[in-house]
Structures are given as structure tokens and as C-alpha cells.
Amino acid sequence: MAETATRSKPASSGSKSRRGTRSGGNRVQQRQGNTALGSESQETLRDYFRQMSLIRRFEERAAQGYTQAKVGGYCHLNLGEEATVVGLMSALRRSDYLFTNYREHGYAIAKGIEPGRVMAELYGRTTGTSKGLGGSMHMFDTEVGLLGGYGIVGGQIPLATGAALAIDYRGGDEVVMCQMGDGTTNIGAFHESMNIAALWNLPVVFVVINNYLGMGTTVDMSSAESELYKRAVAYRMHGERVDGNDVVAVQEAAGRLVEHARKTGEPAMLEAVSHRMKGHSVVDPAKYRSAEDAEAAREADPVATFRSQLISAGVLDEDGAAEIERAVQADVDAAVAFADDSPHPDPATLFDYTYATPVANDSRRLPADPVF
Amino acid sequence: MAVITYRQALHDTLREEMLSDENVFLIGEEIGVFEGSYKITAGLLEEFGEKRVRDTPIAEEGFVGAAVGAAMLGLRPVVELMTINFSLLALDQIVNHAAKIYGMFGGQSSAPMVLRTPGGGGQQLGATHSQNIELYYAFVPGLKVVAPSTPADARALLKASLADNDPVLFLENLALYNTKGEVPEDAPPAEIGKAGVTRVGSDITIIGYSRMATVATQVADQLSEEGVSAEVIDLRSLRPLDRETLVESVRKTGCAVIAEDDWLTYGVGAEIAASISDGAFDYLDAPVRRVAAAEVPLPYAKPLERAALPSAESLNTAVRQTLEAVGHRR
């Protein structure tokens, strides 16, 4: 059951410590028993499990690649967010557009990019989603409508709003989804864009992944209204919250909001309450988290939970689950092999992508080159 | 060939481009119902409607970013930022986003957009409404920055900017809007990245852009009556910077004065002086001189404002002193 901004009660005003733990306002009613599986076909449910398992294995290998120094820079993982990622992406058509923040490997895969190309981008190879120019934070693929992972918190929100403006301008029927984290809801770009999207009636669904942690700063430490979906009300926009650990619930809520946006052009906000299983990035040991919270994140493991649910519902048996797990393991192995075998970019191509339209006197100087 | 104002040239060119390409639309604060703070967009809402002329909330980051996103899907937004001072509120979208879309994703998308905005002081608008901070954008690979000084250039560079697939910051100037000049209607778009030699001369090179390029031609014309042959270069494009044209001129004249409305330290003139040092060191008969704004938050009171800003008088003085230093005989 999702909570909506129009139906929910006011936030409880607890005076507890704001560090390290979730406030009561962040709890979402969990679905119980087989009803959690909704009306999806068994085949669809098995495919959700396959995709979630694939993202889980992929991210574990990405972390491994980082420790092996195959992957550089920052590396933010979707571990613990698999149900949210798959639920959201299942709500979109291939022709719909997606803008994300920097924690987007899973989204890239679930939107339809070959895992090998995602891994190759992490490895900085020419076969990567951005030809190795972007890295972990900057995946992109016009073919599947992923219009970028962005590294500046909130930077993707005005862009997504503008993409929706372009759809509206042309009278298209695509919808834009704009993913962001909980900490993003305090930045100006969020509020400016929510206002613009509502004012101009643009087909964009803003999705806030609330894992209650910025890096180490909790939602309660940073947000005066910690029930983030309520912020939509200020812009006369529909807002609701869903259990991000429940792939079927996420798909249902996101699908409903996406189709509503497609039909009416009206934007909406969806808050998916989720858990981050690991640190902010691969290098973060997350020492700031309380033992109870870390334990809660482990217990909430959406992949394991969904696996048990499918088995007890008779959608999968143990052998069937294991077979899927072997298959995704092979997919990830193949992705790593593809990345490893792909060429590094040639330094001679350094200036190929600075400008789309070449003009006179564009500098092509290397650091030690004289100007004249 | 019509003689029209810089304002009219901008207006007419925008209108022409909107008529020829339905992907071109205008977006900004007060550009529609109010017809623009400086009336560049007067009449365009009435002619093209709200879809093509979009009034925005006061939310620079939001609407500049929305223009970037729309450009990524192939529209051609022309953003009006009421003054360049307000562009700072959209800095993240311009520098971290518009400038990076093409390179960061390996050339899969770009942000073909024009950011029109006036700089310039001298209107008693005080410290926050009088700045010349185009340098912030000229510093950034991925952006292009052009600065027309005449109505003809305004037209030719706006056409070039709209034909370009990269984000272009199009610098206007408050003091130029009412200036007049001949505008050939069939002239081709300008070439971004090329400076113009607006006066040919042999004694000294004066380099300027935007308002100071017009001041430079005035000073050169005054000096020519006294027998001084000054060459004037109008940069027209700050990024890319046409170093070849500058250096070629200084190799001929042996000395140079740079005229800029921005602050001297780390300013546009610093880069030009360094380029002259790089390419014409052996030809210089005197240090490269810079005429630039005094380094203060620009005061409101007229005598203080006047004292802080470069002018024809201060440029004239610097040129004469440089000519004396090289032993020029008139």
C-alpha cells in the first residue's frame, strides 16, 4: 500500500537524535504473503528476479574491479536497491527517457544496455556506454533512452524537466523519469524544476530513492520534512511513497504515474524507501551507521526476500532459482571478459569530443606544447 | 543595406531564425508579456505565441537547465539571461552540464543552445548589476563565447551561434543596445573563433571586444587625425580565441594595448598579453599594456563609477604612452 501526499497523516514530531537511525516517518508498511506478487505473470516475476540478481552480481563484480584497480574514480553501487531499480525500469518503455544521478549502473542495465558495455565504461574502454569518457557516474545511451548519469547532485533535474519540455513541444508521447537520492531534495535545482514541471504541465516523473542516507548525513539531519514525497504538495503535484524493497509495488506505482504523465502530461513525484547495503561508494566503510541499521539493511535484502517469496508462491523452485543465478553469473563473467578485452582509448583521440561543431582556432594543445 | 540599432539587429535576427526553424524557441524571464528587460524580444510573443516565447519563473538554474535538456532532444533554445550577473545562478547548469554533454558522453548528444546575456557597467546599476564576467565562461572547454560589438556582428554571430551544435554564450552589452550601424541583410553567418581587423594600421595594435572594441575604433580614428596608424582587432570570439590574428598584427606593429571592460587581474587581457608573449615576444618594442576596470565592486555614485571604468580617454592615454615608449614620431 503506497502512501500519498494527499492521504497521509502529518509527520510525527519526535525529538530523538537525528543521527544514524530512521525516523518513524520513514517506515513503510510491508506487503505480506503472496498478495505482494500482485497480478504479474509468473514469467514477468521470474524476469524481475533475473534482472535483480544480474544487478546484484554485476555490482559485486564492479566493486571487485575497483579493488583490482580495473575501475577508477568514484564507484557508487546499487546494492540493496535492486527492487527499486528493476521496478522503476519495468515501468518505462524503451522510448521513454531516463536521467539519473551517479549511482546508475543498475539503471543502465535495466533500461536495456548490455552489461558488457556498462562494465567496459567502468573499465574506461572505447566499447563503454560513453566510449570510456564518462566512467561510473556518466553512462549514456540514446538507443535505450538513458540520457545520462550525472555527478553533480541535482544537476539532472533541470535537464530532465527540459527533456519533458521538448516532448511537450513536439507533442510526443514519451515520458521522462528523473531519478535522484534523498539528499537531492534540499537543493535549489529540485525545487525550481518541480515548480517548472508543474507550472508547464510536463510529462516527467521525479523519483526519489530514499535510503535515508546522503553520504553519512541522514534525512532527519538534513530535511525539515523527512517524508519527502510530501514536498510535491508545495507544487500542487501528486506525490506518493512506496516500499522500494518491493519490486512489484515499485513497478505498480511507477507504472501508474508514468502512464498518467503520458496521458495527461502531468508530472508526479514518487519516493521509494530503500536501503543502501554498503557505503556511499566502494571505498566507504560506513562506520557512521548504527549496528541496528546495518543489520536492518542486511535483513531487508530485496533479492533474497524476493527469491523466498517466489519460491513460497511456487513461481520458482530452488533449482529454477539456482539456474537463474548461474545464468546471470555467466552474464557478468562475460561482461567482465568483454570489458577486459576491449581497447583503451587512443590518446590521439583526446580532442575528438570537446565540440560537436568544429570551429577555427579550437585549442589542441597538450600540456607541454608551446602556444606558438 | 539598412542602418539599424544593435537591439534591432538582435530582434530581427531572432525573428528570422524563428521563422526558418520551428525548433528555435526563446526562453527566459520577462521576455514575453513584458517584451524583455531590454526589449530585444518585443512583439515576438504576439507573433509566435507562448510555445515559442516562454516566460519563466525567476529560476535561472531551473530554466537554463531545462533549455539544456530540451537542446539534448534536438530543440534550439535561445535563452535570455536578463544580465550576465544572473548567469551565476545558473553556473552549474552552464559549466557542469551544457559544457559537458558532448564530451562526457563520448559525443552521443550535444546541447545546441544560445545563452544571450548583456554585460557592462556605466549605468549606475551598482556592484551586482554591472559586472563583466564573461571570462568565467571563456575559461571552460565545451563552451563557445562570442561578443559582437556592432549591429552587423550581432546579426552574423547570432546566426552562427544558432547554426552551431554547441552551447554558445552570446555576450551583449547594455551600452551597445542603442548603437547604430549598417547591417547587410544577405551577409553570411560569422565564423566563430575568428577575430576581425576593424582598422588596418602599422604603428600600434589595439585589441578589444564587445563595448571596448567600439571604443578602440573611436580612439584609432581620433589618432589617425594626428597621423598615428593604429590597427584595431575586435576579438568577436573569446573561446575559441584567435591568437593567430593578434600575433600577426603585433609582429607587424611591435606594440599593443588591450582594452577590456573586465577586471585586469586574471582577466581576458591577461590571456591576450600572454598569447602575444608566446607568439610575438621578439617583435615587441614595449610591454603590452592593458586598460581594464579598476578592481573594486563597482560603486553607484557617478564620479566613482566613471573613475572605475575604462573609457576612450583612458585608452587614448595608454596608447599615447605606449607610442612614446617605442619612440613613435608623429
DSSP B87-106: GGGGHIIIIIIITTHHHHTT
Predicted pLDDT of residue B137 = 98
Instruction: Say yes or no to pLDDT of A32 above 70.
Output: no
Q: CA B262 to CA B182: how far, in whole Å?
A: 27
Q: Residue A189 domain-assigned?
A: yes
Q: Cα separations (Å) of A107 from A31, A302, B65, B237? A: 24, 16, 22, 40
The percentage of residues in chain B with a pLDDT greater than 90, rounded to a whole number, is 97
- Min distance A69 CA to chain B CA atoms (Å): 21
Q: Cα separations (Å) of A303 from A82, A84, A212? A: 7, 11, 20
Predicted pLDDT of residue A287 = 87
Quick check: A155 and B93 CB within 8 A?
A: yes
- State the pLDDT confidence band at A3, using cuts at 50, 70 and 90: low
The candidate with the shortest Cα–Cα distance to A196, out of B71, B109, B27, B72, is B27
CB contact A101 to B (< 8 Å): no
Q: Residue A226 domain-assigned?
A: yes
All residues at 6 or more sequence positions from B217 whose CB lies less than 8 Å from its CB, including other chains: B198, B199, B232, B234
Residues 71-90 of A with CB under 8 A from B: none
- State the pLDDT confidence band at A22, using cuts at 50, 70 and 90: low
Predicted pLDDT of residue B171 = 98
pLDDT digits (tens, 9 = 90+) for A149-178: 999 999 999 999 999 999 999 999 999 999
- Min distance A353 CA to chain B CA atoms (Å): 5
Instruction: Say yes or no to pLDDT of A18 above 90.
Output: no
pLDDT digits (tens, 9 = 90+) for A239-263: 999 999 999 999 999 999 999 999 9
- State the pLDDT confidence band at A13, using cuts at 50, 70 and 90: very low
Q: Find the farthest-apart pair of alpha carbons in chain B and give their distance in angstroms, rounded.
A: 62
Quick check: A354 and B102 CB within 8 A?
A: yes
Q: CA A126 to CA A120: how far, in whole Å?
A: 8
Chain B interface disruption, residue of A159, A174, A196, A342, most B CBs within 10 A: A159
Q: Cα separations (Å) of A8 from A2, A13, A34, A89, A230? A: 10, 15, 26, 26, 9
Predicted pLDDT of residue A8 = 38
Quick check: A189 and B51 CB within 8 A?
A: no
Q: Residue A41 domain-assigned?
A: no
Q: Cα separations (Å) of A58 from A333, B257, B277? A: 9, 60, 53
Q: CA B215 to CA B149: how far, in whole Å?
A: 10
Q: CA A333 to CA A341: how far, in whole Å?
A: 12
Predicted pLDDT of residue A17 = 52
Q: What's phi and psi for B319, nearest 5 deg?
A: -65, -45
B107 contact residues in A (CB cutoff 8 A): 131, 352-353, 356
Predicted pLDDT of residue A12 = 39
Quick check: B97 and A189 CB within 8 A?
A: no
Q: Residue A356 domain-assigned?
A: no
Quick check: A361 and B194 CB within 8 A?
A: yes
- State the pLDDT confidence band at B242, using cuts at 50, 70 and 90: very high
Calculate mean pLDDT across residues A277-299.
85
Predicted pLDDT of residue B81 = 98
CATH number, domain containing residue A251: 3.40.50.970
Q: Residue A153 domain-assigned?
A: yes
A362 contact residues in B (CB cutoff 8 A): 193, 240
Q: CA B158 to CA B168: how far, in whole Å?
A: 9
Instruction: Say yes or no to pLDDT of A331 above 90.
Output: yes
Predicted pLDDT of residue A338 = 98
Q: Residue A12 domain-assigned?
A: no
In DSSP notation, B10-36 reads: HHHHHHHHHHH-TTEEEEETTSSTT--
- Closest CB to B59 among A141, A196, A361: A196
Quick check: A130 and B166 CB within 8 A?
A: no
Is the peptide bond preceding residue A367 cis, with omega within 30 degrees of 0? no
For residue B234, the cross-strand partners are B196, B208
- Taking the CA atoms of residue B194, residue B200, residue B202 and residue B207 in that order, the dihedral angle to the nearest 10 degrees is -50
B95 contact residues in A (CB cutoff 8 A): none
Ordered by where they begin, the domains of chain B are 2-183 (3.40.50.970), 196-325 (3.40.50.920)
- State the pLDDT confidence band at A29, using cuts at 50, 70 and 90: very low
For residue B237, the cross-strand partners are B146
Quick check: B106 and A163 CB within 8 A?
A: no
Q: Residue A366 domain-assigned?
A: no
Instruction: Say yes or no to pLDDT of A372 above 80.
Output: yes
- Closest CB to A356 among B56, B165, B191: B165
Residues 326-355 of A with CB under 8 A from B: 352-355
Catalytic residues of B: 60, 129
User: Residue B125: how many CB atoms within 10 A of its CB?
Assistant: 17
Instruction: Say yes or no to pLDDT of A139 above 50.
Output: yes
Q: What's the full length of chain B, in residues?
A: 330
Q: What's phi and psi for A119, nearest 5 deg?
A: -65, -40
Predicted pLDDT of residue A166 = 98
- Closest CB to B92 among A99, A134, A152: A152
The larger pLDDT score, comparing residue A334 to residue A22, is at A334
Chain B interface disruption, residue of A104, A169, A173, most B CBs within 10 A: A169
Pair B175, B120: CB distance under 8 Å: yes
Instruction: Say yes or no to pLDDT of A10 above 50.
Output: no
Nearest C-alpha in A relative to B142: A354
Predicted pLDDT of residue A155 = 98
If you search the block for the grid coordinates 553533480, which residue do you land on? Answer: A152
pLDDT digits (tens, 9 = 90+) for B131-144: 999 999 999 999 99
B166 contact residues in A (CB cutoff 8 A): 355-357
Domain housing A170: 46-345
Q: How many domains does chain A have?
A: 1
Chain A interface disruption, residue of B73, B166, B271, most A CBs within 10 A: B73
Q: Residue A353 domain-assigned?
A: no
Residue type, B153: D
Quick check: A165 and B69 CB within 8 A?
A: yes
The percentage of residues in chain A with a pLDDT greater than 70, rounded to a whole number, is 90
Quick check: B104 and A362 CB within 8 A?
A: no
Q: Which helix (H) or strand (E) holds A4?
A: strand A3-4
Residue type, B270: A
Predicted pLDDT of residue A19 = 60
- As to burial, measured by CB atoms within 10 angstroms (0-12 exposed, 13-18 middle, 19+ buried), residue B197 is middle
Residue type, B204: I
Question: Does residue B294 sit in helix, strand or coil?
Answer: coil
Q: CA A37 to CA A31: how far, in whole Å?
A: 9
- Closest CB to A354 among B56, B142, B243: B142
User: Residue A68: how many CB atoms within 10 A of its CB?
Assistant: 9
Question: Does residue A174 sit in helix, strand or coil?
Answer: coil
Instruction: Look up the pTM and report it.
Output: 0.94
- Closest CB to B97 among A155, A163, A357: A155
Chain A interface disruption, residue of B108, B109, B277, most A CBs within 10 A: B108
Predicted pLDDT of residue A6 = 47
A163 contact residues in B (CB cutoff 8 A): 69-70, 72-73
Quick check: A361 and B57 CB within 8 A?
A: no
Predicted pLDDT of residue A290 = 84
CB contact A120 to B (< 8 Å): no
Angle at B281 between CA B279 and CA B286, to 5 degrees: 130
pLDDT digits (tens, 9 = 90+) for A179-228: 999 999 999 999 999 999 999 999 999 999 999 888 989 999 999 999 99
Q: Where are the alpha helices (DSSP H) in chain A?
A: 42-67, 82-90, 105-111, 115-122, 156-170, 188-199, 219-222, 247-264, 291-299, 302-312, 318-341
Q: CA B281 to CA B294: how far, in whole Å?
A: 27
pLDDT digits (tens, 9 = 90+) for B12-49: 999 999 999 999 999 999 999 999 999 999 999 999 99
Q: How many CB pairs under 8 A join A and B?
A: 177
ipTM: 0.96
All residues at 6 or more sequence positions from A287 whose CB lies less than 8 Å from its CB, including other chains: none
- Min distance B16 CA to chain A CA atoms (Å): 20
Predicted pLDDT of residue B329 = 66
The candidate with the shortest Cα–Cα distance to A339, out of A102, A28, A119, A67, is A119
- Closest CB to A199 among B57, B74, B278: B57
- Min distance A44 CA to chain B CA atoms (Å): 32
- As to burial, measured by CB atoms within 10 angstroms (0-12 exposed, 13-18 middle, 19+ buried), residue A223 is buried
All residues at 6 or more sequence positions from A357 whose CB lies less than 8 Å from its CB, including other chains: B163, B164, B165, B166
All residues at 6 or more sequence positions from B167 whose CB lies less than 8 Å from its CB, including other chains: B68, B71, B94, B98, B99, B111, B112, B113, B114, B115, B142, B143, B144
